[in-house]
Amino acid sequence: MNAFSFSLKEFLRIILQVMKRISHIDFHALQVAFVSKKLSEHLYPEHVEPITIVAFLHDIGFLMPRYLRSIEKLPSEETFITLERLLKFDHSIKAFGKMHSLFGKKLIRYLPIENEYGNAIALHHTSAEQLDVKNKVHVIANIIHLADFISLSTLKQNFDYDRVKELISEVTASSDYFPHVVSAFKEIFYPEAPWFLLFEYNDLVEQLLYGTKRILSYAELEHALDVLVFLVDHKSPFTRKHTESVVFTASEIASELDLTDDEIISLELAAKVHDVGKMATPVKILEKPSNLDQKELWIMRKHVYDSYSILGGEKSCMAHEWICWATEHHERLDGSGYPFKKNAKELSLPSRILMVADMLVAIVEDRPYRKSMTLEEALKILQNDALNGKLDVDVVKTVEKMIKNGFHPILERGVSEEILEEIQKETQVESSLFQHDLIE
Structural domain total, the chain: 2
Q: Are residues 251 and 110 in the same domain?
A: no
Q: Which is more confidently placed, 102 or 32? A: 32
For 127, left (φ over 0), alpha (ψ -120 to 50), or beta? beta
Q: What is the DSSP letter of 372?
A: P
Whether residues 19 and 164 fall in one domain: yes
The CA distance from 171 to 150, in Å, is: 9
What is the distance between the alpha carbons of residues 104 and 15, in angstroms, rounded to a whole number?
Answer: 13
pLDDT-derived band at 6 (thresholds 50, 70, 90) equals very high
Q: Which helix (H) or strand (E) holds 68?
A: helix 65-73
Q: How far is CA 27 from CA 23, 32, 84, 120, 365, in A?
A: 11, 9, 13, 20, 37
Domain that holds residue 159: 8-209
* CA proximity to 123, closest of 150, 141, 137: 141
Q: Is residue 220 part of a domain?
A: no
Strand, helix or coil at 367? strand
Residues 67, 143, single domain; the answer is yes
Nearest to 25 by CA among 347, 33, 182: 33
223: in domain: no
| pLDDT average, residue stretch 262-288 | 95
**Domain check: are 81 and 128 in the same one?**
yes
Cβ pair 164, 40 in contact under 8 A: no
Q: What is the CATH number of the domain that holds 344?
A: 1.10.3210.10
**pLDDT, tens only, 228-259:** 999 999 888 888 899 999 999 999 999 999 99
If phi > 0 it is left, if psi is from -120 to 50 it is alpha, else beta; for residue 312 that is left
Same structural domain for residues 198 and 340? no
- Paired residues of 7 in beta bridges: 215
Which position has the higher pLDDT, 145 or 65? 145
Q: In which band, very low, low, confident or very high, does the pLDDT at 76 lie, cut at 50, 70 and 90?
A: low
The model's confidence at residue 431, banded by pLDDT at 50, 70 and 90, is: very low
pLDDT score for 93: 60
Q: How would DSSP label each residue in 196-255?
A: HHTT-HHHHHHHHHTT--PBPPHHHHHHHHHHHHHHHHTTSGGGTTHHHHHHHHHHHHHH
- In the three-class reduction of DSSP (H, G, I as helix; E, B as strand; rest coil), residue 126 is classed as coil
Note whether residue 188 is domain-resident: yes
- pTM of the entire structure? 0.91
Mean pLDDT of 436-440: 38
User: In this structure, is residue 430 part of a structural domain?
Assistant: no
**Closest CA relative to residue 176, chosen from 135, 136, 143:** 143
Establish if 279 belongs to a structural domain: yes
Please check the confidence at residue 80 and state whether its pLDDT lies above 70. Answer: no
- Dist. CA 322–CA 227, nearest whole Å: 18
Range 12-32 average pLDDT: 93
- Tell whether 321 and 399 lie within a shared domain: yes
CATH code where residue 200 lies: 1.10.3210
Please give the span between the terminal C-alpha atoms of the chain, in angstroms, as a whole number.
Answer: 47
CB contact burial 342-353 (16+ within 10 A = b; e otherwise): beeeebebbbbb
Q: What rounded mean pLDDT belongs to the chain? A: 90
Long-range contacts from 100-103, C-beta under 8 angstroms, 24+ separation: 100/59, 100/61, 100/62, 100/64, 100/67, 101/58, 101/61, 101/125, 102/61, 102/427, 102/429, 103/60, 103/61, 103/62, 103/64, 103/67, 103/423, 103/427
